[in-house]
Each structure stands twice: as C-alpha cells, then as structure tokens.
Chains A and B, each alone.
Chain A
C-alpha cells in the first residue's frame, strides 16, 4: 500500500479514528532529510501497510496540525494508536533503524 496524504480536513478520520496504528510523516518540500527518508517510508508502507498505515502531512500546507503536535524538527514521524501519540521518531534514519523503531507495530 502506497503512502497517502493527510490534511487538516482528513486528519481526524484518517489518523485519530483509524483502527490500525498510523505513522504520520511530518515533512516539507524544502527539507533535504525529509526527501531522503520519503522513499524509505514508501517502501515500508508497501511492505507493511496492512499493519501500519503511513500517511504524509506537509507542514507547509498544514501548519496548524504541526503546531498542535509541537513539531519543531522535520522529518518527525509520529505513530498514533487510538488517537494518541505513542512513538516519536525525529530525523531521517536508514531503513533497518526505522524498522527497529517500528518493530512492535509491524508484527
């Protein structure tokens, strides 16, 4: 499953009310490390999308949500379960390191 885009309008339904865990990738076009980690998240989504939904939130376009969750560095990858932030990953990481951080959601 490819990643999808979330906006302020869809955040509630897509993230907070999701029945599966959701990783929200807070990113922006101008951020080099965000562009570097983007394809890795795409791969993880293709491989594990049924267990962990991965969505992308553009902090440039949807700054209200980024501010609400106190984002000050991007990429920030927050995992939401039942509407709550349960894991926070800050900064681009290689795929094996990300898989390790996320392993409890991928089994």
Chain B
C-alpha cells in the first residue's frame, strides 16, 4: 500500500465508527482499523444500553455497534479488523503499521483507541485472572451460578455489573472504598433495591486469596484501617479505565493520567493532522453518546484540516 490516504481512523467504538461515518460521507475515503479483538469497543461487553438517544426501548450494546459499523460501511469506509501496532505521527505524512505487518500512510489520523480496564494492581489478581477474577460480567457471570461473588468499584459499570450478575449469583457484594456510589441515580437505586446485592462501604480489596482459584478476599476498612477476610468464589473488577495511549506516548501530548490533550474545544492534538476523540481524551463524561459526538467533531476537524 504505497498511496497516501486522506484519513486513517485508529480504533472502533462509538467514536471511531462515528468518525468513519462522517469522514466517509465527506468523501475522504477513510480507512478504519477496528482492532483484531477489540472491534466495537467497550460496548461489546455490555448488555442493554438504555440511554442512547433514539432507542425508545433501549438497545443491546453489541447491536448498537454493529449498526454503527454497517452505517460506516454503507458510506464506503474501509473497515480493517486488525490492530495498529506502531505509529509515526510526527511528519507531514503519518506512517502506521498494522498487526499483519502492512504499512499505511495518511495525511491525517483520528485516534479513537478508547480505554482498557483498570486493574487493582495486586499480584494475586493477575495470577487468578481467569480463575475467579474477571473483568467481564457479561462473559463470565454464567460460571458463578448460585455462588457468592464480589464486585469492586462504585461507578456505573460496577453497579451495572453487580445488577447483571444477580441473574446468576446467589449473592453479589459490591465493595466500594467510599461511602457512596458515583453511579447514576437510576442505576444506584436499582442496585440498592435489589435484594441479592449487599454493599460493603469504605472497603478496599488488598489481596485475593486462593491456591488455584479465588476462595476469599482480604479487605481493609478505609476509615479505621482494620483488616478482614471474607469468602468469595469470584471477583469482578470494575474500578474504571485507563486510556489506551501507550502507542502515542512521546509523540502526542498527554496529561498526567495518559489522556490525550486537545486544543480548546477542538479534537486537534499537538501534532498537525492528528485528532483524538472518545474515551482516549475524556475522563469526565465517558458515555457512548459523548464519544460518538467527539468522533463526529474529529472527522469534521480532519475534513477542515485536509481542505487547507
């Protein structure tokens, strides 16, 4: 591939696909690298999305992403189910390499790589990953039928996972290091009214115990520092996300948490012709609809850049 594309979009999800829809309709002939195992983004691991406007009765996350993907395709976006593994964004012509070893060149790049699950950072969390420690309730909830499991976190995703897991588990204990939830009120109320959910406030997980599978958690009270153990067969970690910015570190200005810094209200990064959108730039709103909105803005910013 020696020709230079107008725009390459890196990452799918609502931001990447919306950027692809807008760029394709602007006849920029975009190519979008969806990711080999991350195509569709974070919403692929969710169930029902109730707050995406236009869907009166809600929509399943994977179905919503499939619709966005088809919409991008309909307008001629080239969809590649592969990862970008290297990027040189510093020159006038950007050079990107994919997981199959192909190189693609472009005048502009839209970064929409999203975020990854944040880990607690415990040695035994990693060791027992896949043996009771999970980051995906929709994938793994089924294996905990009739059991007592823990969800750690206090935001929307933790509360959503805890609620979802009550379909299978006998009891779900939501462990949160503060004394109130960050989750939206409707979701928090739903969890509080669910008889299968118990809340452990002001508590953090300091170790995961078990020889070859999760047997218990070691907990610490964040107020008085007292430590305790409690038996669980599963631990679902939902303590937030970290931006996937490792490939662009050193080329694109990032804030102290690794999010891309954009110029004012635009999606422009410090590198000319490089735009960023979605969870990669947003540590405030982090919604499907805001990601889609910023993907739209990135495509419009790229279009304007290419016209000059």
A in complex with B: yes
B39, B130, B213 pick with most chain A CB within 10 angstroms: B130
Does A34 interact with chain B (Cβ within 8 Å)?
A: yes
List the B side residues contacting A66 at CB < 8 Å: 143
The residue of chain B having its C-beta at the shortest distance from the C-beta of A30 within the complex is B138
Q: A93 CA to B132 CA in the complex, in Å?
A: 19
**A72 with B44, Cβ < 8 A, contacts A40-B37, A93-B37, A94-B99 known:** no
Does A37 interact with chain B (Cβ within 8 Å)?
A: yes
Contact call A90/B129, Cβ cutoff below 8 A: yes
List the B side residues contacting A59 at CB < 8 Å: 142-143
Q: A63 CA to B101 CA in the complex, in Å?
A: 39
List the A side residues contacting B139 at CB < 8 Å: 28, 30-34, 73-74
Contact call A71/B143, Cβ cutoff below 8 A: yes
Nearest Cβ on chain B to A88's Cβ, whole angstroms: 7
Contact of B62 among A32, A70, A93 (CB under 8 A): A32
Beta-carbon contacts under 8 Å, A12-52 to B: 28, 30-34, 36-37, 39-40
Taking Cβ atoms with an 8 Å cutoff, the residues of A that contact B are 28, 30-34, 36-37, 39-40, 59-60, 66, 70-74, 76, 88, 90-96
Taking Cβ atoms with an 8 Å cutoff, the residues of B that contact A are 36-40, 44-45, 62, 81, 83, 85, 99-100, 129-134, 136, 138-140, 142-144, 212-214, 234
The 8 A-B residue pairs whose C-beta atoms are closest, nearest first, are: A90-B130, A32-B44, A92-B37, A73-B130, A94-B36, A36-B37, A31-B139, A72-B143
